[in-house]
Amino acid sequence: MSKLVAQDTLVIQYGSASVNNLPTADSSVIYSFDATIGDLVTIRAVGTSPGSDPRLSLAGPSQNLLATNDNTLSFSATTTAEIVFRIQETGKHFIVVNGAPGDFLLTLDSRPAVPLTVLQFDTPLSINFPLADPSQAYVFNTDPVYPTTLFIEAVPFSLDAYVELRDGTGEIISTLRSNLNSSCISIGAGDQLLELTIVAAPEVTGTVNLTLTNVPCALGVAPAQPPPTFTPQFTPSVVEGVCVASSPRNINLRSGPGTNYARLALLPARQTIQVIGQSDNGQWLVVQNDVLQGWVSALVVSVTGPCAQLPVVAAPPVPVASATPGFPVIIVQPVVTATPGVIVITATPVVLVTPPIT
């Protein structure tokens, strides 16, 4: 990524598209666009000629690799590459398209940062339609011990709205549309901040009630079997001579051993980080890379390596107030080396200024 500025780049803006061509298998086309911290960007490349199979990479202002994608996993036989990413730093970003040669169509879309309202456990929240602020979003943190369930009731029951649930990186993890009454979304035990948006046509009237709880979804009539989708298996990473942690889900790195401590960073699913200690009860682990140190819940990660004799680390003072929800900076492409105590990442996390909390 260090040679991006040395190559010709094409400028692309939010809401626009570009048709281009990869003449050979070792060629690439580079685009640049201006982004603001908190933007939720969607980049999509579609092969439009026989044999074309584009691959996407996204790089930040310092040309550090942020995300890559070859073929989207939601469809088993596709040559469409897609990246959804929550921008971490204001400035010029780069899109690199390469892969199997041929014509492709590139699109770039964005949703600006929006105000966030916190959903509290066992405290129902009513949303009235038409919406006073269509850009409003709702956030909640999952429970590290028990599954988290979001119950949805609609009045009238036929209220036509669209519900979208995204993880901290911006990826969609669940959607609902129409017939929302008595719906529920269940998320397995974990420690990550999720974002919920609900939109409807301007003429829609009614109320949607949201309740966040640890009570499981009630089972009803079994739905029709959906078409099979490819779900990659999770295999914990192993680094010889190093105790490391990884998880099939995104997880928060916190300033102390508890969900009442602030979020320092987000470790993306399947990424690896070194473990150097544990809490006195063993329920939280101290992890580090070369720029930060934090705590993760031992219940939501898998550890491998020499982890049996981890030292006990004293917890910092308990915060006076609960941690304020806001999406933490994403740890970008951490790579654990075989040298104990050393972890190299491709970018230094920055302080993420979050949207207003109401």
Residue 293: Cβ-neighbour burial (10 angstroms; 0-12, 13-18, 19+):
middle
Q: What is the mean pLDDT of residues 311-315?
A: 96
Question: Are residues 120 and 107 part of one domain?
Answer: no
What order of strands is seen across the sheet that includes strand 125-129? Answer: 125-129, 206-213, 148-155, 183-187
Distance, in Å, from the CA atom of 240 to the CA atom of 272, rounded to the nearest integer, reads 13
> Is 296 part of a structural domain of the chain?
yes
Amino acid 322: pLDDT: 61
Question: Are residues 83 and 69 part of one domain?
Answer: yes
Amino acid 115: pLDDT: 82
> Is 172 part of a structural domain of the chain?
yes
> Is 184 part of a structural domain of the chain?
yes
Distance, in Å, from the CA atom of 54 to the CA atom of 354, rounded to the nearest integer, reads 33
Amino acid 352: pLDDT: 32
Q: What letter represents residue 356's amino acid?
A: P
Top mean pLDDT of 35-39, 100-104, 228-232 is at 100-104
Among candidates 208, 19, 2, which has minimal Cα distance to 94? 2
Question: Are residues 25 and 9 part of one domain?
Answer: yes
What percent of the chain has a predicted confidence (pLDDT) above 70?
82
In total, how many domains does the chain have?
Answer: 3
Top mean pLDDT of 200-209, 292-301, 348-357 is at 292-301
Task: Indicate the pTM of the whole model.
Answer: 0.77
Q: What is the mean pLDDT of residues 48-53?
A: 93
Amino acid 331: pLDDT: 67
Q: What is the mean pLDDT of residues 233-256?
A: 90
| Residue 243 contacts residue 274 (beta carbons within 8 Å) | yes
Question: Are residues 8 and 100 part of one domain?
Answer: yes
Q: Count CB-CB contacts under 10 A for residue 23.
A: 9
Question: Are residues 49 and 146 part of one domain?
Answer: no
> Is 14 part of a structural domain of the chain?
yes
| Residue 269 contacts residue 247 (beta carbons within 8 Å) | yes
Q: What is the mean pLDDT of residues 123-133?
A: 89
| Residue 288 contacts residue 276 (beta carbons within 8 Å) | yes
Question: Are residues 144 and 103 part of one domain?
Answer: no
> Is 218 part of a structural domain of the chain?
no
Q: What is the mean pLDDT of residues 323-348?
A: 47
Top mean pLDDT of 28-42, 73-87, 122-136 is at 28-42
> What is the chain's alpha carbon radius of gyration, rounded to the nearest angstrom?
22
> pLDDT tens for residues 135-170?
778 999 999 999 999 999 988 888 888 899 999 888
Among candidates 330, 326, 325, which has minimal Cα distance to 350? 330
Q: Which has more confidence, 167 or 352?
A: 167
| Residue 98 contacts residue 120 (beta carbons within 8 Å) | no
Q: For residue 231, what are its two tokens? A: 């779900």
What order of strands is seen across the sheet that includes strand 137-141? Answer: 116-118, 137-141, 193-199, 162-166, 172-177
Residue 287: band (very low, low, confident or very high) from pLDDT cuts 50, 70, 90: very high
Q: Which domain holds residue 203?
A: 116-213
Amino acid 220: pLDDT: 57
- What DSSP letter does each residue of 132-157 carry, written as one string? S-TT-EEEEEPPSSS-EEEEEEEEST
Domain holding 21: CATH number? 2.60.120.380
Question: Are residues 131 and 79 part of one domain?
Answer: no
> Is 349 part of a structural domain of the chain?
no
**Secondary structure letter of residue 295 according to DSSP:** E
Distance, in Å, from the CA atom of 248 to the CA atom of 260, rounded to the nearest integer, reads 23
Q: Which has more confidence, 142 or 79?
A: 142
Among candidates 22, 35, 82, which has minimal Cα distance to 56? 82
Among candidates 174, 181, 177, which has minimal Cα distance to 161? 177
